[in-house]
Amino acid sequence: MKKSIPEKQLFNSIKERDLLGHIVKTSVRYKIWIAILLLFIVFGMYGYYRQIRYGLIVTAMRDYTSWGIYISNFVFFVAVSLVGSLFSSILKLNKNEWAKPLIRISEIIAVAAIICAAVIIIIDMGRPDRFIYVFKFGRIQSPIIWDVIIISTYLVISFILLYISLLPDIAICRDRLTAIPKWKKKLYKIAAINWSNQPEQVIILKKIGRILGITVLPVAFAIHTVTSWLFATTWRPGWDSTNLGPYFVSGAFMVGAAVIIFAMYFVRKYLNLKSYITTTHFDHMGKLLVLLSLVYFYFNINEYLGPAFKMVGVEGEHITELFVGKYAPMYWLVQIFGLVLPIVFLLFKNLRKPVPIVIISSFVILGAWFKRFLIVIPSLQHPYLPIQGVDESYLHYVPTWEEWAITMASFASLLLIITILIKLFPVIPIQELESPAEETSIESKKFKNEIS
Amino acid sequence: MENKNSNASSRRNFIKKIASGSLITVSGLTIYSVSSCEKSTEGEKATLLTPDGKLVQVLKSEIESFEQLPASPKESRKGIPGKKFVMVVDLAKCKNARKCVKHCDKHHNLTPDRPYIKVLEMKDNEKSAPYWMPKKCFQCDNPPCVKVCPVGATFKRTDGIVLIDNERCIGCRFCMAACPYSARIFNWATPPNVDENLSYSPETSIPSKIGTVGKCDFCPDMIRKDKLPHCITACPNGVLYFGDEIDDTVTNGEETLRLSTLLREKAGYRYLEELGTKPRVYYLPPVDRLFPFNKENAKKGAS
């Protein structure tokens, strides 16, 4: 394989070398990382094979707790995917120049997360063999069909958003990269669809980017609002709430920002992009995370204060269970370590430095995952009618190894998709279409930095 | 002359029509039975009178298999014309004998841990006395489960019954999350002791299929045979009444009562009326009870 690579790669500039270097050179660390991810995926596939063979009986779900970590994981992935719109729409339209190097990575994460969300929901189905019925017999009255429509729409838009921003860079890969295997050359050639930086091409591309940047915003809000309606359209305590839409959307933006911090830390470290993703980026992201967390905090108070004040029937039982009952340890850990403390810590400038902020972000991400567990599972365990005359196992929900294996595999798949996309394409946009003049000034500044 | 001729020809035509009509009926029968019963052997024939007055000969085995065949999934969606089925549960008479649960389980091939019918021990508040509440699917007129189903696997019929088509269900379990009465169960594994020879019908709910949802169905297969649902006939204490809202009658197998009078005089109510689901199952309050509340009954009934 290595012998077939004809020549040593030469770069025109330092910037090109920095941003394209990792595409040419494959490190051992990268191979080990891919191997680990594949190991998790294979293990998860074995779990899924058992689920197909024996049915959902291999999970800990039963007649009362009829949705488990598959669904909470699905909600988590949908939440993470919202981050794409945060960067390529909200921050871009607001002309936040600092966020530009992070747009690509946020779009990659959005595409990867929404693919994983779609897969995990099929894994949750009792009859995945009948998946096609969703289209054959689909009823527009059902919130699930709304979700199918909006998720596929979002998937297409985020994919196009990622692709159009990549297009000029793919052309660069096609033109400049010589020391790469043939299949990669072919891939860039096909993917670049004859892009040649013509002014008329640039105008069209900019126009598409602007239109999609605006359209993706309502779709992104809709995708998580519709997901919240899967719950809000039922009579379950904890779900039967008009607050659920904004509560979900704000939570999604919070975890999305945390995921970006997490991703940019490792991309910066392993791709040596210290001069492109700077400490200023971490500082800005830290401030943004505080803002988004505060919004989520507000909706959290809204979600729990009303029911906790009134303590109506089963709703009261549900609240008691969360606040002081079986789920209290998880609930308070999530609320304090995943929400309140990150807000407090990130107010300090020193804690917005790369290392502390990535630790804080990982707490936010973990908290967000378990928060979705707390949204889905305890509600199902408090129906209007008492749970009687069933097996003891029906009253509790402790996920089985198959469920964990599949869930871990879904995370591994997410990371695998992100890793492969980062490996194939430059993670920081090389060619900026918006403002070429500014681009060169940044570049010259960097040169100066390196010289000094 | 002409007149006579035309008369004769029209008569001939008429006979032809009848003949072809009955032919279609018989061939229809044959196709139906061949597809359902593979083991049919050549042999004894029976002479039958068709609805239009023709005598035809049909294989005996075929006739049987046709009559046993439950309603097809497509037919099951329509409902029995001119009917609106209701159930009334007299809580004053229930002593938790659990015969309804047992018979229901038997006829729907259910295991005791996942019954369609549950008899719940209820206590409305600290001061009031406990009572037994048999609970099945409420066959709501505004059914949350039907509203949320993405593929129309669960549906509301003209006769008021809500059924599930196990051959359509994709197993998303949204209906289970949506039902405020926890009336639905899921086939987490392959149901035990499945009779492979039975042809599936949403009206019989058997053989139920892995990865799909099940629930109390008001036994429309029994109703079609002019029989009462299994739970009604099984109850030794006449707790459960079944009937038709349009006829305004309900029966527990022993006495037949006027539905409107019964609900008016005994203050009939529907469980969780405030949810707006409009259940088709009414409860009569547990006043002047026939039996003392005794938890032991459950064990005796189950044995």
pLDDT digits over A217-243, tens only?
999 999 999 999 999 999 998 899 999
Return the CATH architecture of domain B74-302: 2-Layer Sandwich (3.30)
- Structural domain containing residue A366: 19-435
User: What residues in B contact A137, CB-CB < 8 Å?
Assistant: 151-153, 168
pLDDT given for residue B42 in this prediction: 59
pLDDT digits over A234-276, tens only?
999 889 999 999 999 999 999 999 999 999 999 999 998 998 9
Number of DSSP helices (H) and strands (E) in chain B, helices first: 10, 13
Give the pair of three-digit tokens for residue A232: 């809000």
- Residue spans per domain, chain B: 2-69, 74-302
For residue A439, is pLDDT > 50?
Answer: no
User: What residues in A contact B113, CB-CB < 8 Å?
Assistant: 390-391, 394
When pLDDT is averaged across residues B53-81 and rounded to a whole number, the result is 77
Nearest to B150 among A63, A145, A231 (CB): A145
Neighbours of A283 (CB within 10 A): 17
How confident is residue A178, by pLDDT bands cut at 50, 70 and 90? Answer: confident
pLDDT given for residue B141 in this prediction: 97
For residue A443, is pLDDT > 70?
Answer: no
Give the residue from A305, A304, A303, A315 showing the smallest Cα distance to A249.
A303
A2 lies in a domain? no
β-sheet bridge partners, residue B33: none
**Looking at A226-235, A319-328, A379-388, B61-70, which range is the least confident one?**
B61-70
For the domain that residue A236 is a member of, what is the CATH number? 1.20.1630.10
How confident is residue A394, by pLDDT bands cut at 50, 70 and 90? Answer: confident
Nearest to B120 among A134, A380, A388 (CB): A388
When pLDDT is averaged across residues B204-211 and rounded to a whole number, the result is 91
A3 lies in a domain? no
Q: How far, in Å, CA of A354 to CA of A283, rounded?
A: 8
pLDDT digits over B132-152, tens only?
999 999 999 999 999 999 999
Three-class SS state of B250: strand
Q: How far, in Å, CA of B152 to CA of B289, rounded?
A: 42
A301 lies in a domain? yes
Q: Which residue of A has its CA nearest to B178?
A: A234
**Looking at A425-434, B157-166, B193-202, which range is the least confident one?**
A425-434
For residue A205, is pLDDT > 60?
Answer: yes
Determine what percent of chain A is predicted with pLDDT higher than 70: 94
Determine what percent of chain B is predicted with pLDDT higher than 70: 80
Question: What backbone torsions phi and psi does residue A377 show, to the nearest 5 degrees?
Answer: -75, -55
The minimum CA-CA distance between A258 and chain B, rounded to whole Å, is 31
For residue B55, is pLDDT > 80?
Answer: yes
ipTM: 0.89
A6 lies in a domain? no
The minimum CA-CA distance between B98 and chain A, rounded to whole Å, is 12
A43 lies in a domain? yes
For residue B39, is pLDDT > 60?
Answer: no
Q: How far, in Å, CA of B70 to CA of B289, rounded?
A: 40
Count of domains observed in chain A: 1
How confident is residue B69, by pLDDT bands cut at 50, 70 and 90? Answer: confident
Q: How far, in Å, CA of B44 to CA of B35, rounded?
A: 19
Identify the residue among B100, B145, B174, B273 best suited for mutation to test binding to A, counting A beta carbons within 10 A and taking the highest.
Answer: B174
pLDDT given for residue A197 in this prediction: 87
Question: What value does the mean pLDDT of chain B take?
Answer: 84
A274 lies in a domain? yes
**DSSP result, B88-103:** EEETTT-----HHHHH
pLDDT given for residue B29 in this prediction: 45
For residue B285, is pLDDT > 70?
Answer: yes
For residue B2, is pLDDT > 70?
Answer: no
pLDDT given for residue B30 in this prediction: 42
The minimum CA-CA distance between A137 and chain B, rounded to whole Å, is 5
User: What residues in B contact A59, CB-CB < 8 Å?
Assistant: 188
**DSSP result, A285-320:** HHHHHHHHHHHHHHHHHHHHHHHHHH--HHHHHHHH
Peptide bond into B207 cis (omega under 30): yes
A8 lies in a domain? no
The minimum CA-CA distance between B25 and chain A, rounded to whole Å, is 32
pLDDT given for residue B290 in this prediction: 85
Determine what percent of chain B is predicted with pLDDT higher than 90: 62
Nearest to B150 among A67, A142, A231 (CB): A142
